[in-house]
Structures are given as structure tokens and as C-alpha cells.
Amino acid sequence: MERELTVTAEYLYLPICVGAAETKVEIFSAEAGGQKKRYEFMVPVAEAGTEASAKEAGNGSGQQQEHSALAGSYHADYYAEVPVRELLGKRLIVRADAPDAFLQAIDNDKKRAPKQTERPVIHFTAETGWTNDPNGLIYADGVYHFYFQYNPFHTVWNNMSWGHATSRDLLHWSWEDSVMFPDESGTMFSGCAVANERELLGLPKEAILFYYTAAGGSNEWSKGVEFTQKIAYSLDGGKTLVKLEEPCLPTLFEENRDPKVYWHEETQAYVMALFLKGNDYGIFRSEDLKHWEQTDHFTLEDAWECPDFFQLATPEGETCWFFWTADGFYYPGEFDGYHFRTDGVRHHGYVNTLPYAAQTYVGTAGRTVMIPWLRMENDGRHFTGAYGIPVELSCIKKEEGFLLLQMPVRELMEQARPVEQSAIEENGRIHYIQSGAKKALVFEIKAQQGYQGHFVLNINGSRIEYVPESGKLVVEEEKYQAGCEHQKLLFLADDRILEVFFDDGMRMGAFVLKNTSVSLETSLEGIAEYAVYEVE
């Protein structure tokens, strides 16, 4: 089946029936030399069944009445938005092995905004669809750009594209157009952003450059193509991306992926960290951002994909390089611009496995800011997945060596409003139930010196317990090891997300709560100091 339409507005809206079987949808534009394939997506399409009655509905007549009736008859949970402004005035041909009602429901002439749904206040989530790894994080001209792995066409993984959001405070995000979709080179896997400060690749200084993995063979359009590392650029402040055709790195191993590029000041070259295979990573160097030479290949215990690489300083001024991998495993070491040297000891940045594939920002001079993906399951809403609160990284040096610390960015407490202690403290307990507009909750406690009891909290209907003596952390029935004798704890609750930071970020964990309504109840026993804040 196919449908033809002329592009008269900036977006094409595809109806999404969550849970239905996926069907390949191809979109072509009519060109002077024939048809040019523009898009290929796997879309969940509802079965036929209402078309006949729909054709007879309405008071009009002819083709327009039939199109309107068929479009109105098709069930859509939401509409996926595809920017098509560069195709304005062109004739499109949409082909799919799908009921005619689905094809007629594809819209171009009116905005199909998603229905408003309850969601976190300061943790970013997509308006609709599936999200995973953070990509291309860059701070430029006062704006934090946040790109991410995105499937606009379902609430499950597929059609890997790059979504886009922006913020000026790292807490409140504005939804932007998606910037890259699958093509004949593959689907758009993870990557990073680089400022073009040295005016390379024949592009102006103002250009933003993006390195990403084209995952060849991961869609039918790219069948038989291998994974390669490619470049895209933006000349309009990150709003739209233009892909360069030629890869900057050919296939090295079957699924090498996730480039992270940095400028190494000491050796005056760009450095790329790349996942190669298994537990192996590579270091590559370039002076022109186009031609890359491999200078290192190393294996890290249990490490897997999504590398990040950064240098941090202790309060005393000692510096250390940290190599970070998808599960939050990190490896302190030394880096000379060519080779990374580590003792191989694996450290755990997280107490559990919900946070994943975190990436640091470029362009945030003087601070290292990181955001993880939270691998939350779909809970019936039309989006899947969320992102952790951005954290600021620092490090300390102890007997066991350099250790990484992560705490919520300073903007969180700058915007936090204290809750009056007298309004929530009663008979040795804290009772807090949020009223009015939905807000996020921050709860800080400092334990009494030498306290050997345990702390039990009820947050959003979920039971949380921490035992300083053993280091045991329990969230509902799940048990974790968070480390012993932590004296300071920070809890951040937002919708169904709970993040816990221990002793100024020595350890952290992210968890899923029972309820979306924010509440707190706990005993004051063992607490020397506490504070409760709300963040809008």
C-alpha cells in the first residue's frame, strides 16, 4: 500500500499504536530523476477493521471526505514527529504493508502535540517514545545541549535516532526537533560533540561537530553494511545536523562504537576513546579531526561500551585521569596523550545498575558535568526511560588511591526552597506530604557521631533502609552494598525517581519508587541535622 502527499508544513506526523506489531514504513520524495529514499522506520501499526465504515462516515463527498474519515478512524496512542522542512513543496510517497487507514492517518497539515502526561519535574524524559544513551553533550552560547538515543516511533528500543533538548540551568529542559534518523549507513548509535575552535574540516569556528557510530546492518536499509564512525555538523547552534558522507574511521571490529572526542592540550591534538570489542578500548589521535591514528589498545576488567575520559583534580591540586565505562565502572590512571596506564582495579561509581551510559559535557570550563541514562521500564505512560540529575564530578586521594565523587550540580540547591521544619516535624518524626503543584523533593541528613542503628524512610510509598554499620541499603525488597559508616546522605525524589548520594558523592544510586506523588516519612532517631527542600 502507498499514499502520496505534498509537503505543505514543517512536520510529518506518523500515528503510533503502542503494542501493535511493527511494520516497515518507507518514505520517498519525487525527484526529477525518479524517487529518492528519505526515511525507513519500523512503526507499530494497528490491524485493519474499521476502514469500511469510516469511508461511509461524514457529510462531505469525494476523496477529501474519504481521507478525513479514514484518518479519523485510525487508533493512535500518539503521533511521532519527523521534521521535513527541507522537503517543503515536494511530493512524498509513503509505502508500507499496512491498512489504508494507517496511511491516511499520516498528517502533515496540522500540529499533533502529544497529550500532557504526568512526568518528573527536573529529570529529563522524552515527550513520547523510547530513550537511552546520552549523546553529544555540549555547552555553547549559554545553552546546554542534550542529545540522546531516541526511538520516536514506539516505547521500546528500535529506529535509533538522535533526539534533542536544551536547557539553561541543567534542571528544566525544552524539547527540540530530532536531529538524525536512520539511513543507508545504519541507525544512529551513540557519539559526542566537539566545538570547532580551530576551524577544521573546512567549517567555521561557530560550527558544532558531532562524532557518532553509524550502526550498519541494524536496519534493513543498511543490510550488509558494517559499523563505522562518522561526522555530522551544525551551523545553526545545534538545531539541525548535516551528515558527512565519508566515515572518519573505518570498521575495526564488528561493532566498534561510541566515540568520545577531547582536545588534549599538553600534546596539542584531539584524542578519541572508542569501544572496540569485548572489554577492549582504543585511543586514537588526530590534528585535523578527520584523519585518526590509533595509539593504544587496552583491556579493562568487565568494562563495556560507552567510554568517557576526563581529568580531575583533588582539593590539594593533584590530578588524575579517569576512564569511565557504561556500567559506571571507572579506572583511575595516567594519560600522556597517546597511552592510558592504569592498575586495572575496577571502581564502582554506582551501587546498582539502573544508571547507565553516562556522558560528560564539553564546553563547561572549570567543571565536569555528567548525565546518566536511567534504565526504567515503561509504566504505562507513552515514554520509556529517563535521565539522572546532572552531576558535577570531583576527586579525592585516599590510601587506596584516587576516588571519584559525584554530586548534583550546584544549580539544584540554588533553586531549592527550604520547607519549614516546624511544619513537618512532629513527635520525633518527619511527616511531609506535598500539596499544590508537583515538585521534586531534596532531603539531606547528617548522622549522629557513632550512630550504629539504621535509618528507615518511606519515600513516595517505597521503604528505604540504610544501615551504617554494615553498609546495607534496601529499597523495597532489593538489597545493595552502599559502603559502611556514611555520615551524610542526600535523597532526591522526583516522580518515580529516587537518587541517593552518600558522603558528598562517594557513592550514588538511582531507584524506581512505587508512586509518582512525592511524600516523606522517617524517624529523627540517629539524625544530628536534617533539611527538606522543594524544587519546582
pLDDT tens across the length of the chain (536 residues): 999 999 999 999 999 999 999 999 999 999 998 999 999 999 999 987 544 333 333 333 344 444 454 566 899 999 999 999 999 999 999 999 999 999 999 999 888 888 888 999 999 999 999 999 999 999 999 999 999 999 999 999 999 999 999 999 999 999 999 999 999 999 999 999 999 999 999 999 999 999 999 999 999 999 999 999 999 999 999 999 999 999 999 999 999 999 999 999 999 999 999 999 999 999 999 999 999 999 999 999 899 999 999 999 999 999 999 999 999 999 999 999 999 999 989 999 999 999 999 999 999 989 999 999 999 999 999 999 999 999 999 999 999 899 999 999 999 999 999 999 999 999 999 999 998 899 999 999 999 998 989 999 999 999 999 999 999 999 999 999 999 999 999 999 999 999 999 999 999 999 999 999 999 999 999 999 999 999 99
Identified catalytic residue from 133, 226, 255, 327: 133
pLDDT of residue 112: 84
For residue 371, what are the CA distances in angstroms to 137, 171, 341, 389, 459? 9, 11, 25, 7, 23
Q: Give which of 88, 171, 93 is closest to 442, Cα–Cα.
A: 171
Catalytic residue, chosen from 305, 308, 499, 534, is: 305
- What is the rounded CA–CA span in Å between residue 296 and residue 81? 42
* Cα 20 from chain centre: 25
- Cell numbers at 202, concatenated: 573546512
The pLDDT assigned to 40 comes to 98
**Is 109 a known active-site residue?**
no
pLDDT number for residue 332: 97
Annotated active-site residue 465? The verdict is no
Domains defined for the chain, CATH in brackets: 2-105 (no CATH), 129-411 (2.115.10.20), 416-535 (2.60.120.560)
pLDDT at res. 66: 45
Check residue 117 and give its pLDDT.
Answer: 86
Residues 6+ apart with CB under 8 A from 411: 169, 170, 171
Residue 49: predicted pLDDT: 58
Q: How far is the CA of 52 from the CAs of 46, 49, 60, 95, 198, in angstroms?
A: 15, 8, 16, 21, 62
Give the DSSP H or E segment for 66. Answer: helix 62-73
Three state DSSP letters for 134-186: EEEEEEECCEEEEEEEEECCCCCCCCCEEEEEEECCCCCCEEEEEEECCECCE
Question: Which pTM was predicted?
Answer: 0.94
In what helix (H) or strand (E) does residue 533 lie, and over which residues does it extend?
strand 527-535
**pLDDT value of residue 110:** 80
Cα(518)–Cα(419) distance, integer angstroms: 14
For position 450, what pLDDT does the model report? 86
Q: What pLDDT was estimated at residue 60?
A: 37
